[in-house]
A and B are shown apart, each in its own frame.
Chain A
Amino acid sequence: MEDLDNLKATELTLGLPGTDAPEKPSPASTTGANKRANEECCLPVAKKQVVGWPPLRSYRMNSIRIRKMEAEDNTGIYVKVGMDGAPYLRKVDLGVYTGYKELTEALNDMFKCFSLGGAEGHEESGYAITYEDKDGDWMLVGDVPWEMFISSCKRMRIMKGSEARGLSSST
């Protein structure tokens, strides 16, 4: 049974259960007086990105980005990764990582700017990385040996901790 009074359990983090979760980044300020957009989404480029700009449907962004990656490299083990609340999907090549720790770090890097909302009054108890396996079942990432994971993982989703609780193999 989760101890809901445990502060650590309610901290917004991105990490596998039982590991030391990386620090939560500070929420973006949202004063209306800002002329520039006030949410910054970091992508693996030096440029600053702005939410909803350029004005393209996320549908189109997903398609272009994912097809481009597919076209470029046909040898990787590409799986889509979505995060609750993030405007578009990412794709990762599981083949480039040697284990869960590297994967988690990479995902954290990729999605850290999508940690939504401020800490005020938040009740969510962190995020968990889950994946859909070959049988269509949703499992918590980290439950099975790494080799088994990369051969059976079809796609991943970073869910709110409250939703992922039921998936944990350890009760």
Chain B
Amino acid sequence: MVRGFGWAAAFPDEVWEHVFSFLAADADRNAVALVCRAWHRIERRSRRRVFVGNCYAVAPAAAVRRFPEVRAAAIKGKPHFADFNLVPTDWGGGAEAWVEAMAEGWPHLEELRLKRMVVSDDCLELIARSFKNFGVLSLVSCDGFSTAGLAAFAANCRNLRELDLHENEVEDNCLNWISHFPDSFTSLVSLNIACLEGDVNTSVLECLISRCPNLRTLRLNHAMPLEKLVSLLQRAPQLVDLGTSKFSADHHPELFFKLESTFAGFKHLKSLSGIWEAGPAYLPAIYSVCESLTSLNLCYATIQSPELLKLVSRCKNLQRLWVMDLIEDNGLIAVAASCKLLQELRVFPSDPYGVAPPISLTEHGLVAISAGCLMLHSVLYFCRQMTNAALLTIANNRPNLTCFRLCIIEPHTPDYISQEPLDAGFSAIVESCKDLRRLSLSGLLTDRVFKSIGASANRLEMLSVAFAGDSDAGLHYILSGCKNLRKLEIRDCPFGDKALLDNASKLETMRSLWMSSCSVTLGACRQLALKMPRLNVEVIDERRGRPLESWPDDFPVEKLYIYRTVAGPRSDTPPCVWTV
């Protein structure tokens, strides 16, 4: 039996490096780095991909120093609840510090993916200028930049393969930014501009597409009229992933015919999205590609159930379906019968505030899908009613669920038949679905459901809770159980100090905890911060009154964000955020 550190020297570094190259998962590479100093050294020098789940968990310079040969980086900024406007816009998550450190230490960087970060135009330009082999930029749910910044980026990025702009807030101040790609630029493989509001010059785009033979993904924004879309698409029959623009116009048989034959020309199309404001007149033009589609995103298409039904029942090979609740229970029953390979379903509300007459989408639709689609593992479902019986059936049908996010739109809604809380239903989900990694709760729930979750949800990594629970016990069950919990986000629940302090050490095993409109006091935050030096305990209060130091211990904390970090308190907190 070899002992000590000597055994690592049995092989030269290059051999170990080669062995490590087969480890794709970060967790595996992290484990390798803990074995001995030699492996730590070899691993860090050969790591090519880095994922930073919280941009404040580590100082950019430290990350760059530890892994000098990184080629691809992914970084996340704001807490998830920023998507729903619960986080002040000036909270933080600025990308400059990271981009500057990377420009300094990773000149060979090829891929950068940022999510929920504030990216300035200067940042975009810096990215384009600093990395000569830069190939992939993905910005998801970011803000702070404009089309002028995109123009600067386009002008300076010679080897770009992918530009993915997904659901960003982009200021529109440069109409012709696409024309800034040089004429010699031909390497584009993927372009997603669906989130841009403004018009895009069609002829410039056509030129770009014509000279990029490797283009596989093209997602346009809604602004382009249908006639122009058709002429554009005729230049890219090789597309695998298409996001259309507006899919309606005054009915023109000639236009329909052109659209239909354009789609018939797509021999490789697997993914379809966009279809904004689809009119029933033009939808049938898509029919020819339905059979080959594996991914269909209709969540911006305000199509009614009969047309939706005709469309999706042709999509026999669908693996992912995102759709509005306009599909109704009937539509989902048809999906369950036709789409036997379905893995992921998302149903969004067409009318979140309940202004229009109610839609016939209930728990029955989801139950049908759970029965008919044996490969279903990921669900996001907005609806207005639910029963424990339905949840039990779903749990029994689909023990292979890994992601279950149910949003019953009205808070505190009970089982509409028995009037009971939905504890039994969600408990069944966590007990049956042993591989569940993500769960979002809704409806009327007591502490009992948290007891089940704490005890059974052993693989759970992310939990979202709103308007639920009776007392601190609820939070205590979660924090004392759920061995693999990484992210916990809670709003409007009666959870307070005791559960938090009793489980302080748990928080260091997690990435982050968000609590808003709960019952936590400033005193508990102070105690927690004292006890756990490697946590940043951020108290967020937007009223901008007296400074934090002057408030008493019993002061109720409105919003709380706690995350583990080796970088200490951050230096860029805005006036409304205090690191306790």
Chain A residues at the B interface, C-beta cutoff of 8 Å: 30-38, 43-45, 47, 49-61, 63-64, 67-68, 70-71, 85, 87, 116-118, 120-122
Whether B517 pairs with A67 at a CB distance below 8 angstroms is: no
Whether A68 pairs with B407 at a CB distance below 8 angstroms is: no
A117 to B575, CA, bound (A): 13
A61 to B167, CA, bound (A): 12
Query: Which listed residue, A34, A44, A58, A63, touches B85 by the CB 8 Å rule?
Result: A58
Query: Which listed residue, B86, B167, B467, B491, touches A57 by the CB 8 Å rule?
Result: B167
Residue of B nearest to A45 (CB): B355
Which of A30, A36, A53 lies at the interface centre, i.e. has the most chain B CB atoms within 10 A of its CB? A53
A79 to B411, CA, bound (A): 33
Residue of B nearest to A80 (CB): B197
Stretch from B62-70, B254-262, B287-295, B346-354 at the A interface: B346-354
Query: Which listed residue, A38, A49, A67, touches B276 by the CB 8 Å rule?
Result: A67
B466 at interface by CB-CB < 8 Å:
yes
A-B pairs with beta carbons under 8 Å apart, 21 shown: A32-B519, A32-B520, A37-B492, A47-B354, A51-B85, A52-B85, A55-B464, A57-B83, A57-B84, A57-B167, A59-B167, A59-B195, A60-B348, A61-B352, A64-B300, A67-B222, A67-B300, A71-B277, A117-B544, A120-B545, A121-B544
Take A36-B492, A70-B277 as given contacts and tell me if A56 and B84 are in contact as well, using a CB distance cutoff of 8 Å: yes
Residue of A nearest to B555 (CB): A32
Whether B169 pairs with A59 at a CB distance below 8 angstroms is: yes
Residue of B nearest to A88 (CB): B85
New A-B pairs, 8, CB < 8 Å, besides A30-B558, A122-B544: A33-B519, A35-B517, A55-B407, A57-B141, A58-B84, A67-B222, A118-B543, A121-B544
Take A43-B353, A47-B354, A68-B302 as given contacts and tell me if A30 and B83 are in contact as well, using a CB distance cutoff of 8 Å: no
Which of A32, A35, A71 lies at the interface centre, i.e. has the most chain B CB atoms within 10 A of its CB? A32
Take A30-B543, A67-B300 as given contacts and tell me if A35 and B277 are in contact as well, using a CB distance cutoff of 8 Å: no
Q: What's the least CB distance linking A43 to chain B, in Å?
A: 6
Whether A36 pairs with B542 at a CB distance below 8 angstroms is: no
Query: Which listed residue, A30, A36, A116, touches B467 by the CB 8 Å rule?
Result: A36
Q: What's the least CB distance linking B3 to chain A, in Å?
A: 54
Contacts of A30 in B (CB 8 A): 543, 558
Q: Is the interface of B mostly helix, strand, loop or mixed?
A: loop
Interface size class of B (residues with CB under 8 A): 35 or more
Contacts of A67 in B (CB 8 A): 222, 276-277, 300, 302
Query: Which listed residue, B84, B86, B350, touches A64 by the CB 8 Å rule?
Result: B350
B298 at interface by CB-CB < 8 Å:
no
Query: Which listed residue, A32, A59, A60, touches B517 by the CB 8 Å rule?
Result: A32
Residues of B507-521 whose CB lies within 8 A of A: 517-521
Whether B409 pairs with A32 at a CB distance below 8 angstroms is: no
Contacts of A47 in B (CB 8 A): 353-354
Q: What's the least CB distance linking A56 to chain B, in Å?
A: 6
Residues of B87-144 whose CB lies within 8 A of A: 89, 141
Q: What's the least CB distance linking B462 to chain A, in Å?
A: 13
B382 at interface by CB-CB < 8 Å:
yes
A30 to B544, CA, bound (A): 13
Q: What's the least CB distance linking B147 to chain A, in Å?
A: 13
Q: Is the interface of A mostly helix, strand, loop or mixed?
A: loop
B213 at interface by CB-CB < 8 Å:
no
A132 to B222, CA, bound (A): 21
Whether A35 pairs with B492 at a CB distance below 8 angstroms is: yes
Mask for B261-302, Cβ within 8 A of A = 1, else 0? Answer: 000000000000000110000000000000000000001101
Take A55-B83, A58-B85 as given contacts and tell me if A63 and B517 are in contact as well, using a CB distance cutoff of 8 Å: no
Residue of B nearest to A60 (CB): B348
Mask for B555-580, Cβ within 8 A of A = 1, else 0? Answer: 01110000000000000000000000
Whether B350 pairs with A52 at a CB distance below 8 angstroms is: no
B523 at interface by CB-CB < 8 Å:
no
Whether B352 pairs with A52 at a CB distance below 8 angstroms is: no
Query: Which listed residue, A31, A52, A121, touches B491 by the CB 8 Å rule?
Result: A52
Take A55-B84, A67-B277, A71-B302 as given contacts and tell me if A32 and B557 are in contact as well, using a CB distance cutoff of 8 Å: yes
A47 to B353, CA, bound (A): 8
Residue of A nearest to B541 (CB): A30
Residues of B171-201 whose CB lies within 8 A of A: 195
Residue of B nearest to A55 (CB): B84
Contacts of A43 in B (CB 8 A): 353, 355
Q: What's the least CB distance linking B77 to chain A, in Å?
A: 16
Contacts of B85 in A (CB 8 A): 51-52, 58, 87
A59 to B300, CA, bound (A): 11
Contacts of A52 in B (CB 8 A): 81, 84-86, 491
Mask for B460-481, Cβ within 8 A of A = 1, else 0? Answer: 0000101100000000000000
Whether A53 pairs with B277 at a CB distance below 8 angstroms is: no
Q: What's the least CB distance linking A44 to chain B, in Å?
A: 8
B237 at interface by CB-CB < 8 Å:
no
Take A57-B167, A59-B167, A87-B85 as given contacts and tell me if A121 and B557 are in contact as well, using a CB distance cutoff of 8 Å: no
Residues of B399-421 whose CB lies within 8 A of A: 407, 409, 411
Whether A54 pairs with B543 at a CB distance below 8 angstroms is: no
A32 to B518, CA, bound (A): 6
B60 at interface by CB-CB < 8 Å:
no
A165 to B5, CA, bound (A): 70
Contacts of B354 in A (CB 8 A): 45, 47
Q: What's the least CB distance linking B525 to chain A, in Å?
A: 11
Contacts of B222 in A (CB 8 A): 63, 67
Take A32-B517, A34-B517, A59-B167 as given contacts and tell me if A54 and B492 are in contact as well, using a CB distance cutoff of 8 Å: no
Contacts of A85 in B (CB 8 A): 89
Contacts of A54 in B (CB 8 A): 349, 352, 382, 407, 409
Residue of A nearest to B277 (CB): A67
Whether B494 pairs with A35 at a CB distance below 8 angstroms is: yes
A54 to B407, CA, bound (A): 8
A34 to B467, CA, bound (A): 11
